[in-house]
Every structure is written in structure tokens, then in C-alpha cells.
Amino acid sequence: MVNETQHTCSASSSSKSDGGSSSGSESSKDSSRCSTPVLDADRHERLREKMRRRQDSGDKWFSLEFFPPRTANAAVNLISRFDRMGAGGPLFIDVTWHPAGDPGSDKETSSMIIANTAVNYCGLETILHMTCCNQTKDDITGHLQKAKRLGLKNIMALRGDPAGEEWEEEVEGFNYAVDLVKHIRNEFDDYFDICVAGYPKGHPEAESYEADLRHLKEKVFAGADFIITQLFFRSETFLKFMKDCQAIGITCPIIPGIFPIQGYHSLRQLVKLSKLEVPQEIKDVIEPIKDNDAAIRNYGVELAVSMCRELLDSGMVHGLHFYTLNREVATTEVLKRLGIWKEDPRRPLPWAVSAHPKRRVEDVRPIFWASRPKSYIYRTQEWDDFPNGRWGNSSSPAFGELKDYYLFYLKSKSPREELLKMWGEELTGEESVFEVFTCYITGEPNKNGHKVTCMPWNDDPLATETNLLKEQLEKVNRRGILTINSQPNINGKPSTDPIVGWGPSGGYVFQKAYLEFFTSSEIVTALLKVLKKYELRVNYHIVNVKGQNITNAPDLQPNAVTWGIFPGREIIQPTVVDPVSFLYWKDEAFALWIEQWAKLYEEESPSRMIIQYIHDNYYLVNLVDNDFPLENCLWQVVDDTFELLN
Amino acid sequence: MVNETQHTCSASSSSKSDGGSSSGSESSKDSSRCSTPVLDADRHERLREKMRRRQDSGDKWFSLEFFPPRTANAAVNLISRFDRMGAGGPLFIDVTWHPAGDPGSDKETSSMIIANTAVNYCGLETILHMTCCNQTKDDITGHLQKAKRLGLKNIMALRGDPAGEEWEEEVEGFNYAVDLVKHIRNEFDDYFDICVAGYPKGHPEAESYEADLRHLKEKVFAGADFIITQLFFRSETFLKFMKDCQAIGITCPIIPGIFPIQGYHSLRQLVKLSKLEVPQEIKDVIEPIKDNDAAIRNYGVELAVSMCRELLDSGMVHGLHFYTLNREVATTEVLKRLGIWKEDPRRPLPWAVSAHPKRRVEDVRPIFWASRPKSYIYRTQEWDDFPNGRWGNSSSPAFGELKDYYLFYLKSKSPREELLKMWGEELTGEESVFEVFTCYITGEPNKNGHKVTCMPWNDDPLATETNLLKEQLEKVNRRGILTINSQPNINGKPSTDPIVGWGPSGGYVFQKAYLEFFTSSEIVTALLKVLKKYELRVNYHIVNVKGQNITNAPDLQPNAVTWGIFPGREIIQPTVVDPVSFLYWKDEAFALWIEQWAKLYEEESPSRMIIQYIHDNYYLVNLVDNDFPLENCLWQVVDDTFELLN
């Protein structure tokens, strides 16, 4: 590309031959501003821009609708579902607004908090639904302000269902979705992307199909950016609707709402609510198999796939919106069969990024929360700025406290009975704890025949990368080096490496070997003697629950342990071992012994006392081998330690 | 070391077992502050701290005194001397204050500007002398404010010589050095380190030796940090003085002033000014050889070495201060024979750091000024902050303009006649320019038998590192790829490597191959075709004097081309190729053709027109090979280009 310098940057483009530069006098303050190299253009675009870019590139996409769950346990499950379904690459998800469920509150199950979780903790572009009827202007503004504060950037503006049979318009009130659209644009300018609902068969309460189209046009002209439609059963219905919209001058994207039939009852309920009529040919198939859930779901998938194919083949449809009913199987199946479920193994950074706009530039985190990214996000949610480029040694990161509410994110996905089976109904000593750690590493069943698929510090099975170290990890865990985090050293693997790669292609990634574990004071004493031999090579931090801290880190500076070199970019160093935040992590890591493990047992029970003893007496240790081009010496350090003990 | 977390950092050290963290609420703003890893503790210490640290470690040191030169040419030479003598590792240098020479002015030869140059451009810890008699309070405050603004941190507070024979004390005026010391402490608190003069034989105007000691004590008690003495001829003189000082309670460092006799006349003049008596045994040796400069200098070196040895052996002396008389040979000889001249090949960063306190955190610069660091410092002197960690792509670096005064730093050390011999008395065409570039690279004499030891873009012979590329550079310069900057790719050499190493030991340094050159538009056209094949691997910026700019840099982001990985530290990336600053550099690089080369010739002369033609028509090109672990492909790119042309 040829750039005339005038438009591409502020540098002088004068052609003086005397060497004079008319470079002006931009604020010199700005000259040293740090900023993140653009690793992931996606992170910097708003939803409507992403939609436009995907449409321009001919790249088909999908989105997923969820409703807020009723219980805290269901919320934990829904968040896991966000993570799993997020892996397929939805352009966005949306969360419905349930006026009866206190949707704007701070409850774990409110629409607001579920949408907040999707954006911040799952890194998903999210639309929050919002209804306006029967609400005051102040209430609505309050909800919108809160949404903005939480990092939500997209609102689906709806009327909602009027209360009572005899609904009358309120003067000065919000009577229609268009009022809400106008209100959002008035009060928040262009901050939000706004979506509105379209009715391919016309709104059931509209005077006519044509009148409803005119209402839709009003909503768009009031400032809506795109339309998602109500479900329908035939592709012709949507395509006709789309042409009719275009005919009256609606030019924004219109996204068909797809409802894969997943069961007889859910279909009936939805039809009742939406006042839609199920076509006879569908009824004919369903009625005879109404008690066979699997058969109905298979039929639903079939039907959805063929309808979606017709829509995509029409050339008028670029994205499909799925009403998931909070279920995974049918929608995933449809998406996979359509070939638009795309699990992209590439990661912009080694850790999962949050979609909060404040976190757009974030590109450095301490390694400690590698298996607990949601906890890290929670504990840093009050930060105004996020580190980029450098973590910085003068920083005093003020991590949020471990409060009750936090336990929601801290909660394991597995129920108590399951955890007891994995971690032991009854512990007989420290060795039985070693055994649990070892089984988690090896993937072998414990002595009662149960696989250990999670630990208090890792709610998921062992990462692929950790698998590279499996053999050595097994060996040391058996002997009481209870590992909770580790990474191998990497000396310049391609950034596209399926296991350790991240960032744009064409780059090289590097790592220093890292090992973090709990261990007894006896082992720590021997370890410290051994570490003297490795003084220049290995950095260590050793701390107990009381905060007694032993380290050889120079000036308490952070140590970069993961970094990447990319074409045409500055160096990225996304993970550091930071001495200061380690002490915040220490509180969390020790607390997990008690909160997640000890409390499974009765107070004063021997099992609980064993965990309490470990919590009170063990040390949390982290080791970094700085010599990344050489063979990882940390295993030798541990071997030397055991040798010294014998 | 065991650190209780309370003193070492702000993290929680509570021993709560409930997992609560009492982390307080430090400003979250600070949490993402960038800051430089401490690469070089020296950069962060003030002079008196450095002095104390060297004394504590038993490490002997030296310092050097210079006076401001009389002409601009002499100033250029003195600055080169600063660089050469700075290589021996002086703890500081000092610059005397000449009331007659407008010492506080902006003239190239003023004390203020010479001291400024030493600090900012030569990276030397510097003391500026300042005298106070016959000056108003406002004048003195003005000088001090200016010194502070320029980054000077140390003042030698002197009385100065009163004007006229019949000097009388001014009421409320500055009559003695102690008044100046008090004034500095009153007005500038602890900002400056203050040095005062001591007279081992007593000040010539003092009532008595004892009275003079009392005056000295007053100066120290008024806030002076250390003492430098007047010259003396016998070590006993100094050692007695030192004991006498200690006896009356002067405990600050006292640094002996050493004057290596360098010639008969300079000795006589100094003796006259200082009113000192030369011991008979010295006179006896010197008088007979007074016309033999070399013999006197040899004797002076001998004498200084043996006196310095006596001082150091006494155990009371930790540092030696040399009156250089702006000469190099004798002092360097003495220092080398004493074994305290220490050329340290280790560099904290790949480029020479400035000693200005504002630049303490600076650790990233564009590669373009690699051979012109003083120019870079000059052009960025108005910046309030300096990049560290990241250069940043949103930055609009406002580089200072290329003004007349700037030409002082831009000026070559070689006189015009010398340059003409090197670069050609008469150019016959573009090829004769190619020849000059080629001779500079090869070190071979040109066709008139003169070696080309500098170029407008490089005032010094080829860097050792560039020598690694000599063979290929020669080949391409012969064919009109006129190289002005280059570096080889480096894939993880030890940071102690004598050629490409930098930073603390135990680290690894890396580089992407870089090549920057002027070339004709014909070659550029072919080059651009060839570069298509290397699109993903090679980043390029191609610009002519008019600012027409061709690049494939993503989003005008900077490309890190030198970086280092060190134990226990964040990544350092001291050099970048920045698209924005390249356009500022472009103005300077093109201007050098005219200012330094074309102007050697008569206006309208064929030689001048050839340089003017190149200036007007050639392109400045830079290339980066991003694939640093592979063999440098830039030579292949150039070969392909020539092949395409044939």
C-alpha cells in the first residue's frame, strides 16, 4: 500500500530539502504512552462493525440466545455452557430480560449478572435484552447505566408484556420498543449497539402485517443497528419478510431467529407464548412421536438444518440466531452440520481475554491465576486501567477481597458428593492427600475407583500443555510436592503450535519453566539448601499462610515467563511471576484448601483436621528456571531436594 | 533473604485462615503503571550515594575536571574527549565556571552548555562549578534553575575571584562559598549534591591554616556533601589536611585533587593562579628539561603515579580527582598505571544512555538514530516522559526540529579538508558516491589513497557488530544499495557476548536482521516486486525526500528488533523500527546529504549537483527480517532485486 504520510500519521511530510521538519508540536506527554500492539482486531471493534466485516468477507456466522437461570447452581452450569458453546465461535450471545426475576439486580441469577458474566468472565460479545413497559424512565436509565458500568455494549430493546389484560398506553411513558430505542440514543448517544425484534408474520398485536413493518422501520430510524426476528417455521416466511423490509427502506442487517425443535412440550409452550401457528406438516410428524424426546430432537435438528441451508443459500442471510432454550446438544448439532461451528485453536493470548471494553488493552497477567481466570477477572474488576506491555514493579495491584459473593465464581462445577468421591470420603493422613494430587495428574482412578477430574485450584482436567510434564509431575506429587500450576520451558516454537502457540501467525513463542506447589516445611528447608546451588538460575518465592515470605527476586521485580515475538510488532509478554501479586494469590490458594476441601467434612473430623493441618503448616512455593534455552532444571532441583532429605 | 511481607511490599500479610485478604485499597490507577526493570542501579543513584557505595565496597574511583573551551570547534573536540575518557569509567566529571566566558549562557562554549552536553549527550555524571561573588541572588538562582532544568544534579559551590584589587564584602551579598551553599539548600532543598573546595595548604587569602579549616567546616555544615581539594605536590600535605579536617569534625568525603604536570608553562601558570609553591626537588628536575615537553610529561606522570599510590595505600583515600587541563594523554596514562581506568564492555542497553534524571526509565528507542545517539537525545530533549517497556503505536512522538543550533551536534569531528579527501574532491557520477560508501565499509583506501573513516550518517568507523556483515555490505554498496544502518539477526546469544551483548549477565539477547539504505527509484521498483514474495516475512518502509511512503507495516505499529530476556525481570526491547519516527528520521537522513556532503562543494559545481540529485531522487529504505531464528533473508532479497534488474 502506498500511504501519503499526511493521512497515515502525524509525522512531517514536508519536502523541504534543507532538512527542516515541520513536525508541529504534539504533546510530548503522549510520546511515551504505552499501548498494546493490536493482536486481535476483533477486540477493538463494536458488534455492528464485526457484523459488517463478516458480511463483507462472506463469512457466515451464528449467535446464541439464553435466558437467566433460576438457581445459583443452574447459573454455574450455564456459565460452563457459555464456555463450551463459546468455543464454537458465536459472533455474540444474548441474555433475555425477565421482569419477574429482578433482572437488573445483583443476584447471581439476574439477567444483568448473567450478561455481565458472559462479557467479563467468558469473553463473549453479549447483548442484554431490556424491556420498557411498566417501568419508569429512571429505572430504565439506571439499568442502562449499570449495564454500561459492567462493560455491556449492546442492548436488545423490547417492549415487554404489558401487565394485566386491559393495558392502556401511558402518556409520557414507555409504551413501545421505539420509545426505549429513542431513550437509549438520547441518554447514551452512540455508546450502545441497539438491536430490535422483527416479526416475520407480524406482531400478534399489530393491526396488520404492513402496520407492523412500519413500526419496525420506526425502530430502525430511531437508532436501532440491526434486527433479530421472532422464530418461524419456513424459510419463505423469513425471505418474504426480509424483502418486504427492504421494500419499505429498512437496510440494516436482519438476522433470522432459528428455533430447533427440541421437545414436544417446549414447542407447545413457545407457540403459546409467541402466538405462532405450527404448520400442519410439522404437527403431522411430531404428534405421533410426542413421547420420544430423542426422535423429536433429531427431527428438529433435521428441520433446522434444512431451513438454515435454504436461508444461507438464498444469499440474503449472513448470520443465524439460535434460540437455545439454554440447551446445548441440538443447536451445536445444527451448527456443526451447517459447518459454521468453528473451534479455532488459535488464541490471541495464552489466557482467555475478557470482553469488557476497559480490558481491551490488557495483555499481561500474573501466572498464578492461569487455571482460575474468572477469579482473576473478579478480583481485578475494580481496576481502572489494565497492564499492557509491562506489569511494572512499582505497581501495587489492589486485588479485590475474597468475599462471599466471590464464592459463586469460586464454586466448583461438581456437587459435594462428586468431590468427596474424587478427593476421598475419609482422609487417613497427608499421604492420602498426595494420592489425590497424583491421581489428578495421572488420570488414573483413585483407590475407590473414581477419576479425579478437578482440584480446588483447577476446576478442569489437566491442560494439554501440562500433559507435557505429566511423568515428572506424577513422580513429585507422590512424594509430597503438591503441584497446582506448571509450564514447560519453550525456546521459540511457532506461534501456531497447537499446544503452546498463541498470537498471530508467523511469530515465535517462548516460556520459562515454571512450577508451583504446596509442600511441607521439612521439604522447604531442604529445598532452600539446594536452591543455593541454583542461585543465579532459579528464582523462587516461598510463603506460608501467615505471609512469611522467602525470595531471591531482585528488587521484587516481576519475571516474564511467557512471551512472543511477532512480525511487525512489539514484544508481547502475557504472563509474569510477580512477587507482589503472589502474596494476594497466596491468600486465595490457601483459602481453597479450607473453602473447597476441608469444608466437605464434618467439623473436628480427622479428614478436616488433615486439610487444616496442611493449610496451617505447608508452604506455597513457586520456581522459575530462567535459562529457557537449556533443559528445564526444576526437576533436578526437586530430585536434589529429596536426595538431601534421604 | 527472608522478608516479612510488611516491609517489602504492600500485599497482605495477614494470617487469616478464612481466606480473607486485608489488602487495603491502593489506587487501582497505579496498578497498571509501566515502569522499567532496574537494569542499572547506577542510573537511579545520586552522586553522593554512588560515592558512598564505592567507598563501602572498597572500589577505588577517579573523576576528571575540564574547563569550557573557547571555540565551537574546540567544543566538538572536547565532547569527543568526554566520550573517550568516559569509557575509562570516571565516577563523575566536572566543568569549571568562567565568569568572563558568559558561563550560564546558551553558547556552545559556556560552562552550562558543556556540562549539559556531558550529562545528556555523553551520559556522564557531572558537577557544574558555580561562583558567587559579584553576582546577584537572582542571577545565581537563575543559573541554578537552568542547571536543574538541563538535568544537572551536582554543583561545586565556589566563591570565585573578586573583581578588582580592593574587594570589600557586600552586605546581603554572596561573599563566600558558604553563602552559595546556604542559598542552594534554601532555594533547592536537597535537589543538588553540593561539593566545596578544600585547601590542603590553606586558602592563600585565609588568615591562617586553622581559620581556613574552620571556614571549610562551615561550608560542610551549611550543607555540602563532599570536598574536592586544590592541587598539592606531596601526599603528606593531603594526608595531614585530611587528619586535621577529621580532627575538627569534618566527616564527609574529601577527594584529593591531582595535577599531573604536563608541561613547563602550564605548571608555571597554575602555580601563579593558585599561589602554591612548587617544592624544590620538583623544580630541580624540571628546570633542566623545561623545553622537552615529552620528558616533562613523563616525569609528571611518574610523579603523579607515585603520589597517587601513596594516597591510595594510606587507606584514607577512595577516589582521586584529576585536573586534566582538557588533555587526555597524561591523565589516562596515570589512571592506567594505577589500574583504576576500567573500560567496561558491558552495556546496560544496546545504546548509550543519557544521565538526565528524566531519562532514568528510558529503555526503548527507534533504531534509526543508532549511529547518531546525540542527535536523538537533542531531538527528544523536550519530552516530559520517555518510553519504557513499549514504544507504543498510538504515540505521536514530537521530535524537535532540525535547527541551526542543532548543527553543532550534527557537525562532523573532521574538518572540511579531511572530509573532501575521504568523500572525493570531485565526484564524477553516482558511482563515485557508491565508491565512498564501499570504502567506508571495507576500510580500504579510496582511489586517492585516503581511508574513509566516517560518513555523514556515521561519524565513527564501522561498529564491531556491523563488521559481522562486512562482506555482504561491501557487495551491495558497490551496486548502489547505499547502506547507513544494519544489524545481523541474533537468536539468543548470552547477554555477556562481547559484540552483541548488553544488560545484566545471565540473560539472552535477540535481534531481527535490519538493513537501511538509500537507493535509486529504479532499484526500488524492482525491490518492491521482489518484496511481494517475502510479504509475510519482511517488513519494509520506503520513503523519498518528499515523504511518499510505501510500507507493509500492520497498522503503523512499531516492530521490536532488539530484545533481551534476563533472570527475574520483564522483557526489555530497547530498539524498535517505528513507522512514525522513521518519517522524522527521514528528514534528518536526507538533510545530511546536503548539510554534510553537498555543501563541501561550490554551488552549481558538478559534485554538488550529483549529491543534490541523489538527495532529490533516491529513496530511503529499511527492511526487517522477522524470522530471526532462520538465516537472514535480506541479502537474498537484494540479490533477487539485482537479478530482476538484469
pLDDT in tens, A109-159: 999 999 999 998 898 999 999 998 888 899 999 999 999 999 999 999 999
B38/A555 touch (CB, cutoff 8 Å), yes or no? yes
| pLDDT averaged over every residue in chain A | 87
Given this model, what pLDDT does residue B33 score?
A: 33
Among A383, A580, A628, the residue with its CB nearest the CB of B28 is A383
B21/A584 touch (CB, cutoff 8 Å), yes or no? yes
Given this model, what pLDDT does residue B167 score?
A: 47
In order of B308, B517, B545, B547, B623, the CA distances from A4 in angstroms are 64, 21, 12, 7, 19
Given this model, what pLDDT does residue A405 score?
A: 55
Which residues does chain B have within 8 Å of residue A387's beta carbon, measured at their own beta carbons?
31-32, 34
CA B64 to chain A, closest CA, distance in angstroms equals 32
Of A418-422, B152-156, B285-289, B614-618, the poorest mean pLDDT is in B285-289
B21/A402 touch (CB, cutoff 8 Å), yes or no? yes
Of A256 and A356, the structure prediction assigns the larger pLDDT to: A256
Given this model, what pLDDT does residue B273 score?
A: 81
> Would the pLDDT of B115 be above 60?
yes
Given this model, what pLDDT does residue A24 score?
A: 34
Among B14, B385, B626, the residue with its CB nearest the CB of A506 is B626
Given this model, what pLDDT does residue A273 score?
A: 81
pLDDT in tens, B563-621: 999 999 999 999 999 998 999 999 999 999 998 999 999 999 999 999 999 999 999 99
- Residue B19's pLDDT band (cuts 50, 70, 90): very low
State whether residue A509 is helix, strand or coil.
strand
Whether chain A has a CB inside 8 Å of the CB on B266: the answer is: no
Of B131 and B169, the structure prediction assigns the larger pLDDT to: B131
Of A197-206, A401-410, A438-447, the poorest mean pLDDT is in A401-410
In order of A93, B441, B481, B565, B623, the CA distances from B437 in angstroms are 62, 6, 9, 35, 19
Given this model, what pLDDT does residue B637 score?
A: 97
A385/B31 touch (CB, cutoff 8 Å), yes or no? yes
Within 13 Å, how many C-alpha atoms sit on residue B182's CB side? Answer: 14
Contacts of residue A268, Cβ cutoff 8 Å, sequence gap at least 6: none
Cell of residue B574, nine digits? 530497547
> Would the pLDDT of A407 be above 70?
no
Given this model, what pLDDT does residue B22 score?
A: 35
Given this model, what pLDDT does residue B43 score?
A: 64
Could you tell me if A622 and A540 are in contact, meaning their C-beta atoms sit under 8 angstroms apart? yes
CA B220 to chain A, closest CA, distance in angstroms equals 33
For residues A595-600, average pLDDT: 92
A391/B554 touch (CB, cutoff 8 Å), yes or no? no
For residues B403-426, average pLDDT: 78
Please state the domain extents for chain B: 48-163+171-263+293-338, 413-645
Question: Which residue among the candidates A65, A125, A362, A516 is catalytic per the annotation?
Answer: A65
- Which residue from A348, A377, A293 is spatially nearest to A122, judged by alpha carbons? A377
> Would the pLDDT of A508 be above 60?
yes
Range with the largest mean pLDDT of A417-421, B26-30, B384-388: A417-421
The whole-angstrom separation of Cα A634 and Cα A530 is: 11
User: Which residues 36-65 on chain A approach chain B with CB closer than 8 angstroms?
Assistant: 36-38
- Residue B630's pLDDT band (cuts 50, 70, 90): very high
Within 13 Å, how many C-alpha atoms sit on residue A179's CB side? Answer: 19
Whether chain A has a CB inside 8 Å of the CB on B496: the answer is: no
CA B454 to chain A, closest CA, distance in angstroms equals 20
- Which residue from A379, A544, A594 is spatially nearest to B17, judged by alpha carbons? A594
Architecture category of domain B48-163+171-263+293-338 in CATH: Alpha-Beta Barrel (3.20)
CA dihedral for B530, B535, B540, B542, sign (positive or negative) = positive
The whole-angstrom separation of Cα B96 and Cα B65 is: 8
Given this model, what pLDDT does residue B23 score?
A: 36
What type of residue is A365? R
CA B201 to chain A, closest CA, distance in angstroms equals 46
Given this model, what pLDDT does residue A101 score?
A: 83
A567/B537 touch (CB, cutoff 8 Å), yes or no? yes
For residues A499-507, average pLDDT: 92
| Angle in degrees, CA A81, A576, A480, rounded to 5 | 80
- Residue A395's pLDDT band (cuts 50, 70, 90): low
Name the closest residue on chain B to residue A18, using Cα atoms: B591
Given this model, what pLDDT does residue A599 score?
A: 92
Given this model, what pLDDT does residue A15 score?
A: 34
Active-site residue, A218 included: no
Which residues does chain A have within 8 Å of residue B617's beta carbon, measured at their own beta carbons?
none
Whether chain A has a CB inside 8 Å of the CB on B609: the answer is: no
Could you tell me if A545 and A605 are in contact, meaning their C-beta atoms sit under 8 angstroms apart? no
For residues B247-273, average pLDDT: 91
> Would the pLDDT of A403 be above 50?
yes
Among A15, A492, A573, the residue with its CB nearest the CB of B570 is A573
Given this model, what pLDDT does residue B32 score?
A: 32
Question: Which residue among the candidates B4, B26, B45, B65 is catalytic per the annotation?
Answer: B65
Range with the largest mean pLDDT of B59-63, B163-167, B406-410: B59-63
The whole-angstrom separation of Cα B353 and Cα B268 is: 40
- % of chain A beyond a pLDDT of 70: 90
The pair phi, psi for residue A265, each rounded to 5°, is -70, -40
The pair phi, psi for residue A226, each rounded to 5°, is -160, 170
Whether chain B has a CB inside 8 Å of the CB on A628: the answer is: yes
pLDDT in tens, B366-391: 999 999 888 898 888 888 888 888 88
How far is CA A576 from its chain centroid? 21
Got the DSSP string for B460-480? SSPPHHHHTTHHHHHHHHHTT
pLDDT in tens, A439-489: 999 999 999 999 999 999 998 888 877 778 899 999 999 999 999 999 999
Whether chain A has a CB inside 8 Å of the CB on B387: the answer is: yes
For residues A187-213, average pLDDT: 93
B388/A388 touch (CB, cutoff 8 Å), yes or no? no
How far is CA B215 from its chain centroid? 36
Which residues does chain B have within 8 Å of residue A616's beta carbon, measured at their own beta carbons?
17
What type of residue is B423? W
Q: What is the DSSP letter of B207?
A: S
**Residues in chain B, total:** 646
Whether chain A has a CB inside 8 Å of the CB on B10: the answer is: yes
Whether chain A has a CB inside 8 Å of the CB on B535: the answer is: no
Q: What is the ipTM of this complex?
A: 0.82
CA B560 to chain A, closest CA, distance in angstroms equals 5
DSSP H or E stretch at residue B486? strand B482-487
- Residue B515's pLDDT band (cuts 50, 70, 90): very high
Given this model, what pLDDT does residue A1 score?
A: 37
A396/B30 touch (CB, cutoff 8 Å), yes or no? yes
- Residue A42's pLDDT band (cuts 50, 70, 90): low
Residue of A12, A570, A615 to mutate, interface with B, max B Cβ within 10 Å:
A570
A548/B4 touch (CB, cutoff 8 Å), yes or no? yes
CA dihedral for A420, A421, A425, A427, sign (positive or negative) = negative
Which residues does chain A have within 8 Å of residue B378's beta carbon, measured at their own beta carbons?
none
A580/B11 touch (CB, cutoff 8 Å), yes or no? yes
pTM of the model: 0.84
User: Which residues 231-250 on chain A approach chain B with CB closer than 8 angstroms?
Assistant: none
Name the closest residue on chain B to residue A364, using Cα atoms: B32
For residues A63-68, average pLDDT: 96
Within 13 Å, how many C-alpha atoms sit on residue A113's CB side? Answer: 21
Given this model, what pLDDT does residue A149 score?
A: 93
A390/B19 touch (CB, cutoff 8 Å), yes or no? no
Which residues does chain B have within 8 Å of residue A548's beta carbon, measured at their own beta carbons?
2, 4-5
Of A220 and A170, the structure prediction assigns the larger pLDDT to: A220
- Which residue from A18, A31, A140 is spatially nearest to B384, judged by alpha carbons? A31
> Would the pLDDT of B14 be above 50?
no
B560/A570 touch (CB, cutoff 8 Å), yes or no? yes
- Residue B627's pLDDT band (cuts 50, 70, 90): very high
Whether chain A has a CB inside 8 Å of the CB on B4: the answer is: yes
A385/B26 touch (CB, cutoff 8 Å), yes or no? no
- Residue A378's pLDDT band (cuts 50, 70, 90): confident
pLDDT in tens, A430-439: 999 999 999 9
